[in-house]
Amino acid sequence: MTPVEIKAFARKEVFTTLADRYEGRTFSRDLWKKMAGTGLFGLLTPARYGGSDQGPEALVEAIEAFILGGQDLGLCLSWLDHLLIHSHVISRFGSEQQKEEYLPGLVTGERIGALAASEPETGANPVKMKASADRQNGTYRLNAHKLFITNGPIADLIIVLARTGPSPGKEGISAFLLDTHCPGFRVKEEMDFGYLHTSPHGELLFEDCDVPAENLLGRLGDGHVRISRAVFGWERFMGMVTLGAHFRLILDQTIRLLSESGAPTEGKVKSTVAELHITLEGLAEFSRTLACEVLDRTELDRRLTERLLFAVGLLTQWWERFGELRQSLAEDPPFPLGILIKDASLLNVSGQLYELQKARVAKNLLEEV
């Protein structure tokens, strides 16, 4: 589908059901299957596995069209996690057998994918990861406690990161493909963040799950040094594209409300509107270019890391400046602006990572002096 067709589809199927799904905190598999029917899940998957292999530019255009038409950041997040950090990971790191077995069902929406990395107290810090996968004959005995897992409560197939080696550092972590019908797997709790109500998140338990050795994804020890590093770049840069489109909706709807209110707008308000618009346009173009570059790579170098920090910092400043404009609105903005503003809290997650990465950049710079 073209971006115009994707936007029209999202407007018809996603936006018209948004209010009910958001209020009910529901995930619709029927809607998911309709999304699959448009080809959204196969944009990066080779044709021989059922995809269209259109590349990063097509994905960027599809993200913006889906957000602008559907206005559902949560569902977009579930789609991108399914596509970017699950099926695309299998495409890049999986064996031929794994690709043939799993990718067609992920493209058609028959299976929903997730990736489980974050753990209680330690987050996604690989050095402190406690999850373990012990080799026992032809299987690995997996024990893990994961949380904040996008699509976790609805997933049929999960990529799980767990420690397989004696090394306490990053090198001893591997990745495994686990079918959620596996005995020992359960969703401990569905997690409610107070926003993103249309994207299921969960706390997951893996208790003595026996995973076949052929379900090892990539090589032993690839979990962080190859897979997790690649996922970080893909997810963060495409996230900037997604948030940029989401913030465009917020700004456009805010401008419309101010115009329709008939209230006089002072020069300061006009100046703020102009600055927000110009900054967002420049940031969107910057994010599109870098996202396309990153998707063809499996690791961020120093240049890309610093540009990611620049983009996150600029978007954070944009949101703070928007707070000045928001004061001109009613306390409870009408639908869908109220939902859009609530879901913008996703930026806080990027902000936390922003501070950690800034500290690493500073450390490196100081060590070079």
pLDDT digit string (tens) for 127-166? 889 999 999 888 999 999 999 999 999 999 999 999 997 7
C-beta neighbour count of 164 within 10 angstroms: 22
157-163/113-116 β-pairing:
parallel
| d(C-alpha 29, C-alpha 89), whole Å | 23
Segment 42-59 shows an average pLDDT of 96
Domains of the chain are: 3-112 (1.10.540.10), 114-222 (2.40.110.10), 224-368 (1.20.140)
pLDDT score of 314: 93
pLDDT score of 288: 97
Structure tokens of 1? 């589908």
Sorting pLDDT into bands at 50, 70 and 90, what band is 170? confident
pLDDT score of 261: 78
295 Cβ contact partners less than 8 Å away, ≥ 6 residues apart: 44, 55, 56, 59, 234, 237, 238
Amino acid, res. 160: V
pLDDT score of 139: 95
pLDDT score of 354: 66
Q: What is the dihedral of CA 107, 131, 192, 103, to 10 degrees?
A: 0
Q: Is 330 a residue whose pLDDT tops 80?
A: no
∠ CA 346-348-354, rounded to 5° = 120
Q: For a pLDDT cut of 90, what percent of the chain falls above it?
A: 79
| d(C-alpha 275, C-alpha 338), whole Å | 22
DSSP letters of 169-204?
SGGGEEEEEEETTSTTEEEEEEE--SS-TTS-EEEE
pLDDT score of 264: 55
CA 230 to chain centre: 13
